[in-house]
Structure 1
Amino acid sequence: MRTLLIIGFVWPEPKSSAAGSRMMQLIQFFLDQNYKIIFATTTSKTSNAFDLNSLGIEEKRIELNDSSFDRYVGQLMPNVVLFDRFLTEEQFGWRVTEACPTAIRILDTEDLHFLRKGRQQAYKEGRTFKESDLYNDTAKREIASIYRCDLSLIISEYEMELLQEKFKITPAILHYLPFLLEGNFTNGILPAYEERQHFVTVGTFLHEPNYQAVLLLKNQIWPLIRKKLPQTELHIYGAYSSQKVEQLNKEKEGFIIKGYVDDLPSVMQTYRVCLAYLPFGAGLKGKLIDAMINGVPCAMNDISAEGMFGDLEPNGNIENDPFIFSEQAISLYETEEIWESNQQKGFDILRKRFQKEAHEKELLNHLNKLEQALGVHRQKNFLGALLQHHTLQSSKYMGKWIEEKNKITKENS
């Protein structure tokens, strides 16, 4: 039986975030291939964390800058190590390379952090995002991590194109893998147009783009919609609502913070239109997937829609101007024929772009090729070998220095 070690940035919370759903989809893929799976992380378990033991997955607490991990992974000798975001590869990648050099190293980027950071910086400075914003320090770290790994999973076609065209990364170390969904995706027994009411938006408040999106909705977009539809409300769902989020709740204005919901599908199916207006971000937006699954057409801006639809028509309107965005959202809400057409487009998108069978088959083929010719694959990725060499020389000794410092601190305390 093959063994997979996942080094998690956080515990997976599929009911809280798209990242949590993504991790569970990857876990299910490897379970279906009969892997023994260990999920290891430095973080504390949360109340929203998925019970991995229920799937027969071993949970392991690991320490930063501690050689106990070297001994552990050396004894485990996993066939595959999956790093959850580049930060875990930075912390543990060199240790994996030393202790089990034949293990296939996979990076799940989730989304490109440097792309989101560049856009966030431009938004913070009140200016238009430009290409030079891409070349930030996070890009240097994240792309170095991509090169050091044997394969990086990229969730968005837009980000695949960006990495290959702007940064000239060879396709051999990249693999497009969007959300992996299963189902027929039809309106089935979903509530009809006349059975639904109000607007909805979703997103964990730990993710800064979601909080900024709520501010934009409250200050620029919702007043325009509410003026035309005074009886409607906008309900905002998301885990980890804070005081600064709660104070945005204005029931008299129909702007209502609902917070965490345990059963999002049953709740989302009661709404008519999803508003997704993100000022910055990256990757694929889980809120759009949730909306399409539950038959909710969307009003979106470019950032929200990025990488989602390919050559297919979107399940709603894509518009950046707040006034036009609001007008289109109102039309989508009020016109049953337009609403039903866009609901159907959403189902078509899910079936044609996110059905897991085809994507999983391609990933399995890629992994099989890596397993059969890992040495040749690494020889061709010379830049990755070069970065790995220098990382071992720098991060290794920095990590050991921190470990010794921590030992002295403990002894003196």
Structure 2
Amino acid sequence: MSRAVFHLDHADRKSLAGWAYDVDRPERHIRIIVLDGTEYLTEVTANTFRKDLEVAGIGTGDHAFHLALPSFLQQGPALRLRLIDADARAVLAVITLAADFEPADQLLGRLDEQLQRELGEARAQAEQSLTARTLLDGMLPLLDRLLQAAQPALAESPLPDGPFQAALAAARERFPPVSLREHAEPRVSIIIPVFGKFELTHACLATLSELPDTTPYEVILVDDGSADETLLAPLLIRHMRLLRNQSTLGFLRSCNAGAAMARGEFLYFLNNDTELQPGSLDALVALLEEEPETGVVGSKLINRDGTLQEAGGIILRLADGVNYGRGGDPLDGRFNYRRDADYVSGASLMTRRAVFDQLGGFDEEFLPAYYEDTDYCFRARAAGWRVRYQPRSAVIHLEGGTGGTDLTVGPKRHQVVNARRFLQRWRKVLLGHAPAATTIEVEKDRGAAFRVLFIDATVPTPRQDAGSAAAACHIRLLQRMGAKVALIAASHMGLQGEDGEALQDAGIEVLHHPFAWSVEEVLRRRKDEFDVIYLHRGEVAVRHITTCRALAPKARLVYSVADLHFLRLERQAELGDAGPPPAVVVRRDAEMAAILQADAVIVHSPAEASVLQACAADHVEVVPWAVPLVADGPGHAERQGLLFVGGFRHAPNGDGILWFVQRIWPGLRDMLPELTLTIVGSHMPAEIRALGEQPSITVAGYVEELGPLYAAHRLAVAPLRYGAGLKGKVIEALATGLPCIGTPIAYEGISLPCIGSVQAAGEDEFVLKLAALYEDAAAWDAVRQAGLAFARSEYSEAAVTAGLRRAIGSLEPRGAA
């Protein structure tokens, strides 16, 4: 236990003086480390005797210190020094020293004089067959400090004529100055090791300076012995941190050295032959923020000609690396979903600082370079971290721009040597990898427990319709069961914007045109890949289940009906609005034929299960979808008005709300004159929008977030006159604590204990029950609590997962000829 008392008597850019004393351990002389930000500067031990300290009872008086600061700190930008108790690892003080710059004319004159002297000596050494680098190594630390200090002065004063002015002018003409963003507290440290080829470094940093990304970053340029314009980097690149290696360390050690001086919580290793595309930096950070179990993430690498270079790396059994997707189209759905990768290329690799420290950085067993990134990813995974590919981070990479491409000469030869080392270390792990790249589409998702092709009519839009909410929920839970899920939208083959991209971000492979053209085309190419084919909605199963059985006879066919369309048509016909009776019969026969071909049939309510079982379908499972519970919300008195929610592509919703406004609303307004109605839904036709012209009716259209509306209204209404299946508007209202008055069709398959209070069969009963529940706070709260309890029991993720396991887990394929 230590309790240090610290006092600073004097502080300027030349020296620090004061005393430090450990109250609990007076015999200890505190060793003080001085940091500039996170960079080590110097240290001193507080062990000097001062009589005044002895008189004051500060131990035996030998606890003072006086520290001369390094000369290069005496001029320059403002300093923020941290004084650390080295043993206790505690901060003793934080000192800010104001900026102090040498006048520009004096500084530039001294710089020119120094350069002339050093370059002259270097020339003489070169003439004696010595490398100019030998002398320049000793000169570079001073040169860098002078150049860094010169930046503010050069912004104000022109350069005097001379060799240095000419050299700098030539460099600036070729490489226009770049100003990076300056962040006092960077979240990301971008570490760029370089060895010459300043034209690549300049292009990389120029692109970085123009990114619209908002993540605070710092750039650490690690120079491993450059002899080109990299020497002038401080005058050409503003707001970067420069580390000059005193001797050539190689790529691996340069990366580790850069990491040692990094301040960010995320370390981003970036080759200098790269160009980040907009959003690429933010996307890497977003994945690490959203996935706390992920320790390493890498980018989609794109060739200069626009073709794909790599979409996450794959390692085969003998340690051969496969750049997955090489030569493909970067927009292809196969390459645009988040997934685990064997490794991600060190050309663009982000990792948590904590993980890097835990693993001890890149292993020097792989000096000087190659396979160090692959080994790092394998070690991270062995330590319990995930390694992920993030397609939203697109980076152009001039492959071989730094190290070349010839495996027999230069730095690239180490790739062959280190592959052997890697194989020796990871041989047992690699036994589980494929021996060759012949099954690469399977190998890229090696960790999947089973593989599902999910076929829907469109990309699910869960915020717009209940069928999509069910599909999105089942996809998500199949993933949690260990499935790798690929989705194809059979009727609308596009990616469909944000909804398709959200699935990709969730790790779903979305197959879309122009890279996939039909269900049949996909199955002919990948027929042996899928263990389960999940057909969602009647129109999909009727059209495609025979093709699926023929082309993928080993796959389990699961048909989720969403709702029984023929049943909906029969009920619509009873209202005189479903076309001629033969059309209903044809639809019934088509749906039943699809049901009988499936290995398992999923319905969302017990009512539909009963209908199918009466038709001799004995392989039916009741599997609803999960809805999130919102147990806390305003009480009866804090709410007002009625709410209707429904997507208007689904005909029963339009019919229901029109019937409600025309036949029920007038009676309600007579009983409750202040009552209001809000109508919400996507794809709203003109006749529904026209309802907003009536007093106290608000037509809101599509609303992105329904939570505030559920919380503000006192009752939901579900006035459906026909339909089939589980009604999303009802179960979502119950799960958010909003009592819902509905017809028997609306509550079909929902065995709510208090069903008598909320189900209304006719117009008069609807008016009376709604008005009673609207006014009675105690009854309202009882229904609210009953609805929450029912939703918790029936529509939880655990209950839905159990149903999916029953439907998928134990059935053998039927009819596989």
TM-score by length of 1: 0.82
Distance 1:326 1:272 in 2: 15
> How far does the alpha carbon of each residue in 1:243-289 deviate from its partner, in whole angstroms, 9 at most, with x for none?
222122224x2122111111111221100011111010011111111
Matches within 5 A, 1:194-343: 194-251=637-694, 253-309=695-751, 312-314=753-755, 316-343=757-784
Matched, 1:96 2:548: yes
The answer to whether the 8 Å contact 1:122/1:133 transfers is: no
Matched, 1:71 2:524: yes
3-state DSSP class of the match of 2:517? coil
Greater shift, 97-106 or 144-153, is seen at: 97-106
Of structures 1 and 2, the one scoring higher in RCO (CA 8 A, sep 6+) is 1
Alignment of structure 1 residues 143-154 onto 2, 5 Å:
143-154=592-603
- 3-state DSSP of counterpart to 2:575: helix
1:26 aligns with 2:477: no
Partner of 1:411: none
Do the aligned partners of 1:12 and 1:23 also contact (CA within 8 Å) in 2? yes
Report the equivalent of 1:191: 634
Give the distance between the partners of 1:139 and 1:155, measured in 2 at CA: 18
Residue from 25, 30, 35 that aligns with 2:483? 35
The residue type equivalent to 2:692 in the other structure is: N
Query: Is 1:155 aligned to residue 604 of structure 2?
Result: yes
* Residue 138 of structure 1 pairs with residue 579 of structure 2: no
Is the 2:523–2:552 Cα contact (8 Å) retained in structure 1? no
Is the CA contact 1:265–1:290 (under 8 Å) kept in the aligned structure 2? Answer: no
What corresponds to 2:511 in structure 1? Answer: 60
Q: 2-side partners of 1:282 and 1:365: how far apart?
A: 23
- What is the alpha-carbon distance in structure 1 between the residues aligned to residue 652 and residue 717 of structure 2? 14
Indicate conservation of the 8 Å contact 1:15/1:48, yes or no: no
Deviation (angstroms), 1:315: 8.3
* 1:3 equivalent in structure 2: 451
Match of 2:537 among 65, 80, 85: 85
Q: Cα distance 1:341–1:53, how it changes in 2: closer, same or farther (>3 A)?
A: same
Q: 2:465 aligns with which of 17, 27, 44?
A: 17
Looking at structure 1, the residues matched to 626 and 582 of structure 2 have their Cα atoms a distance apart, in angstroms, of 31
Distance 1:309 1:235, change over 3 A: same
Distance 1:324 1:295, change over 3 A: same
Partner Cα separation in structure 2 for residue 58 and residue 276 of structure 1:
36
Give the partner amino acid of 1:55. A
State whether structure 2 residue 791 is matched by structure 1 residue 369.
no
Is the Cα contact below 8 Å between 1:314 and 1:345 reproduced in 2?
A: no
CA contact (8 A) 2:691 2:699 kept: yes
Compute the displacement of 1:366 (Å): 4.4
Contact 2:569 2:584 in 1 (8 A): no
Which residue in 2 is equivalent to 1:129?
none
The structural deviation recorded for 1:227 is 1.5
Paired residue secondary structure (1:274): strand
Deviation at 1:223, TM superposition (A): 0.9
Segments of 5+ residues of structure 2 without an aligned counterpart are: 1-447
Deviations 1:6-62 (A, max 9, x none): 111111111111111101110111110121111111304545635211111111124
- Given candidates 499, 507, 522, the residue that maps to 1:49 is 499
Residue 217 to residue 362, structure 1, CA distance change in 2 (3 Å): closer
Question: Deviations along 1:117-146, whole A, 9 cap, x unmatched?
Answer: 1111111259xxxxx999722111111101
SS of the residue 1:105 aligns to: strand
- How far apart, in 2, do the equivalents of 1:335 and 1:366 lie? 43
Instruction: Give the equivalent residue in structure 2 for 1:395.
Output: none
**Contact 2:504–2:510 (CA under 8 A) maintained in structure 1:** yes
Distance 2:710 2:806 in 1: 36
Q: 1:365 to 1:168 in 2, by over 3 A?
A: closer
**CA distance in structure 1 between the partners assigned to 2:665 and 2:702 by the alignment:** 21
Q: Do residues 351 (structure 1) and 801 (structure 2) align?
A: no
How far did 1:68 drift?
2.5
Q: Is the 8 A contact 2:572 2:722 kept in 1?
A: yes
What CA distance in whole angstroms lies between the structure 1 residues aligned with 2:582 and 2:706?
Answer: 36
Greater strand fraction, Structure 1 or Structure 2 = 2
Q: What's the Cα RMSD here? A: 2.3
Distance 1:176 1:286 in 2: 15
Equivalence for 1:117: 569
Q: Does structure 1 conserve the Cα–Cα contact (< 8 Å) formed by 2:451 and 2:531?
A: yes
**For residue 358 of structure 1, what is the amino acid of its counterpart?**
A
Contact 1:300 1:316 in 2 (8 A): no
TM-score, normalised to structure 2's length? 0.42
> 2-side partners of 1:63 and 1:91: how far apart?
15
Aligned to 1:399: none
Q: Secondary structure at the match of 1:49?
A: helix
Change (3 A) 1:71 1:59: same
Which residue identity lines up with residue 524 of structure 2 in the other structure?
A: R
- Where 2:499 maps in the other structure, the secondary structure is coil
CA distance in 2, matches of 1:290, 1:321: 23
Q: What is the CA–CA distance in structure 1 between the aligned matches of 2:807 and 2:628, rounded to whole Å?
A: 21
Partner of 1:177: 623
Deviation, structure 1 residue 316: 3.9
CA contact (8 A) 2:641 2:714 kept: yes
Aligned with 1:223: secondary structure?
A: helix
Aligned partner of 1:102: which letter?
Answer: K
Cα contact 2:644–2:718 (8 A) shared by 1: yes
Higher helix share: 1
